[in-house]
Structure formats: structure tokens, C-alpha cells
Amino acid sequence: MHCGWFFIYIRKIWRKFFLLCIRNKLFQPAINSQALNLKGKNILIGVTGSIASYKSALLVRLLIKAGATVQVVMTQAATEFITPLTLSVLSKNPVYTTFTSGQDEWNNHVDLALAADAIIIAPATAKTLAKCAIGNCDDLLTAVYLSARCPIFFAPAMDLDMFHHPSTTRNIASLQSFGNFFIQPEYGELASGLTGDGRMAEPETIVSRLKDHFARQPLAFTKRVLVTAGPTVESLDPVRFISNHSSGKMGYAIAAAFAAAGAQVTLVSGPTSIKSVPPSIRRIQVGTAQQMLDATTAHFNEQDVVIFAAAVADYTPKFVADQKIKKQGSEMALELIKTADIAGTLGQQKRDGQLLIGFALETENEVAHALEKLNRKNLDYIILNSLNDAGAGFAHDTNKITVIDRKGNKRLFELKSKEEVAQDILEIVIDQWKKV
């Protein structure tokens, strides 16, 4: 009996001590710093007409729970799937669908855009992607998009064939070239009954991606950066040429990432289907390997970082015909000569303080070949990707890389979108400059 009273007394003393410590902040529970990344952030969510619109309610709820202020803008089609009232109650803010509310109240798209720290368009339908890609500003949401200066994230949602249609992939590539971010749709059963890519990423995934974005280093990378991108083309005659399958997507994503981080970016690009780049990027268009070497050399000395992401032809025809070569016989002998090694040539001219990064696309003995290139070309880092990895290499929207430094240290990354890979490369460079 006495023992029972003793333990009750001890428990009361401990409780008083605990409360005293809390009041005087003598100790506090550990706080996950990432959980604070959205606290106080103004997040604008654009909701478009998709069956996945129901997920927007949970997305709003999660962002509010993370401490963000949420503003919702809906397309008229979206209101057929989820009501503005639902999202208004969850966000604790009015939801806007049109340019005007009532007779005299103007919903200013510029104010909405400039107030946002980030914009998430989720779900992003094929129609909305197309409108944003070409600047078709016929509703409040697209007007907000065109007025925005903050990071913009698209979370596509559509059926399998729509997502993989060349029109959609082209529009996504255009939007990425503008510096926008994409959150890949997930694989699973779709509303049509088909199974495949097209399900909007889960709200938890979107929030995690947003937290990761704000957890990154402050965008104050005020360095001069030159990026080469795309293929080169080596003419045989006025009609034919030798080239490769490079789309330029990786190089353009790198240029956009560094530009968004505040760098002065020069992009030397071979022929690609990517038409637009962020306005802050100085793009120099070239065709041949020699033209790329000349353009890169002309700007090399003034750069702090040079990233050789282009797929430069190793050989070029020794003779270029003035007229179209006519088909004769069953065989044709083509005499080729070696092109200049751009990274190798400029690597020998590297000055103190410059950071040079190359790419190595390999099919066998990947690491050994990449290390040999790094040392031979006098690079600081080489980024290895293998054609043996599904989803990596030319033409894909994704890439899987291994980053190797001069000491042979390797950092392996999982398969990611090329924009995410570009962010990883940006962080590696920023970390390297902190050591200087």
C-alpha cells in the first residue's frame, strides 16, 4: 500500500517537472526541418477538368497541415468534378474560376500569380498542358500561369495513350524548356479501364516534391555557366548528314536549372526540336562539331562552370559534295576524319577556379571508360549514363546517372526526370563551390 502511494507521489513530481521544462524551454522535441519548408509559403493550386480533381481536396488539406497558405484557381471544367465550395472550405480562402466575381469585382490574375511562392497545376490535363505550352490564355488559370515568376509544377493526369501521344510529349518538352517542373504520373489502373502511365501523382508525393524544392539551397548561384546540348550534324551533301539520336533535353534541363538558380547561362546548342528557352539564357545555335567548338571556345575563358552535355559527332566526312550524291551501285564507301574533341581541347586550357563537367554515355565497361575520359579530358566531374539502364540515354524524358569525381568517388542516383537530374547536378556544383 505504501509503495503504491510512493509511485503516485513520484509520478506527480515528474509531471510537474516535465511541465516546468516545457514552459522554460529546457528541452524540446526534435523537429524535422523539412516539415518547416512549407510553413508560411503561399502556394497556388490550379485544378483542371479531370477525374483526378478529387485528389485536389487532399492536396489542399496536406498543404494547409504543412503550414502553407493555399489559394485555389479552377477551370470551369474542373467545377464539374469537384465543387469550389469544397476547396474553399479546405483552403480557408475563396476559390476563383473566372476573371470576375459579381458585377464589379475583378480577380486580378497578375496579383494571384505574383503572390505565389509556387504554383502547382494538379491535375494538369492534356488540354491545359497544350494551352500553357503555346500561350493560349483563354481562362483565369492560364492567365495566372503566363503572369507567374515563381516555380511552377505540373502534375499530369490523363489516359495512357493521351499521355504518350507525340503532341503531349512535345508540349511537356516545351514547358520543361521554359524551366517548369513536372511530377511524373504514376502507373496503375486508369479511369478508362486501361492500365499504364497517366494516374496523377498522389498528393503526398506532390507535397514531398514541393518540400524538397524549398529545402534546396537558396537560389543565389551568381556564376557564369556554359552548357553544350543536343547533337551535331555533319553534312555529306546538301541533303544528307551524319548525326545521332540526342534530343538535347538533358542539356536544356541543365541550362534551365542553372538559370533558375541565378546563374548567367550560355547555351551552345546543336539542332533540336526544342524551340524556346527561359529568356535569361543566351542561346547560340550551331550545326557541326567545328561550329560547336568555335562557339564554345569563344566564350570559354569567361565561364566559371562548363558542362559538356552535347553529343558531338566523333567523325565528319572528309569531303562534302556540292550536289546531292546520286545512288550508284550496291555499296558506297564513305571516308571520314576525326572531329576535334571539344571537352578534351578546352580541358587543356582550363584555368584555375574553373569547373568542368562532362558526360559519358556508355554501353560496356561503363565506369572504367568514364574514368578514362575524365582524366584524359582534364575534367572535374564526369556524369555517366548507360544505355543498359531502361529509361536512360537519348530521347527519354528520364535519366539515370552516376557522378564520378577526380578521386574516383561515385554517387549513384535513381531513375529521375531530366529536370530532377539537372537539379542534382546543380546541387553538386553548388556544394563544390562552397569548398572553394
Express each pLDDT in 234-247 by its tens digit.
999 999 899 888 99
Distance between CA 234 and CA 240 in Å, rounded? 9
Structural contact between residues 252 and 295, judged by C-beta atoms closer than 8 angstroms: no
- On the question of pLDDT at 217 being above 70, the answer is no
Residue 153's DSSP bridge partners are 120, 181
Per-residue pLDDT tens digits for 70-85: 999 999 999 999 999 9
314 known ligand binder: yes
Ranges of each domain in the chain = 35-215, 224-317+334-435
pLDDT, position 364: 83
Question: Cα 144 from chain centroid?
Answer: 21
pLDDT, position 12: 53
> Could you give the dihedral angle defined by the CA atoms of residues 178, 306, 408 and 391, in that order, rounded to the nearest 10 degrees?
30
The cell for 359 is: 558526360
Structural contact between residues 230 and 247, judged by C-beta atoms closer than 8 angstroms: yes
pLDDT, position 332: 84
Structural contact between residues 419 and 411, judged by C-beta atoms closer than 8 angstroms: no
- 55-69, 212-226, 229-243, 338-352: the lowest-pLDDT one: 212-226
Distance between CA 361 and CA 401 in Å, rounded? 10
More confident residue, 432 or 33: 432
Residue type, 406: R
pLDDT band at residue 275 under the 50/70/90 scheme: confident
Helix (H) or strand (E) holding 336: strand 336-338
- Catalytic positions, please? 244
Structural contact between residues 158 and 164, judged by C-beta atoms closer than 8 angstroms: no
413 known ligand binder: no
Backbone angles phi, psi at 428, to 5 degrees: -65, -40
Structural contact between residues 71 and 93, judged by C-beta atoms closer than 8 angstroms: yes
Distance between CA 421 and CA 243 in Å, rounded? 25
pLDDT, position 298: 95
- pTM confidence score: 0.61
Q: How would CATH label the architecture of 224-317+334-435?
A: 3-Layer(aba) Sandwich (3.40)
359 known ligand binder: yes
Distance between CA 329 and CA 325 in Å, rounded? 12
pLDDT band at residue 118 under the 50/70/90 scheme: very high
- CA distances to 18, 213, 324 from 340, rounded to whole Å, are 72, 39, 26
How many Å is the Cα radius of gyration of the chain? 27
| Residue 334 CB-density burial (10 A; 0-12 exposed, 13-18 middle, 19+ buried) | exposed
The cell for 354 is: 574553373
Per-residue pLDDT tens digits for 351-375: 998 999 999 988 788 899 999 999 9
What is the 8-class DSSP label of residue 309? Answer: -
**HSE (CB half, 13 Å, CA atoms) of 391?**
11
Residue type, 39: K
Distance between CA 61 and CA 45 in Å, rounded? 12
394 known ligand binder: no
Per-residue pLDDT tens digits for 288-339: 999 999 999 999 999 999 999 999 999 999 999 999 988 888 888 889 999 9
Q: Sign of torsion, CA 236 237 242 243?
A: positive
377 known ligand binder: yes
CATH fourth-level superfamily of 35-215: Flavin prenyltransferase-like (3.40.50.1950)
Of 359, 375, 373, 371, which is closest to residue 410 (Cα–Cα)? 371
Mean confidence (pLDDT) of the chain: 87
pLDDT band at residue 26 under the 50/70/90 scheme: very low
Structural contact between residues 171 and 133, judged by C-beta atoms closer than 8 angstroms: yes
Structural contact between residues 235 and 323, judged by C-beta atoms closer than 8 angstroms: no
- On the question of pLDDT at 268 being above 90, the answer is yes
Does 35-215 match 224-317+334-435 in CATH topology? yes
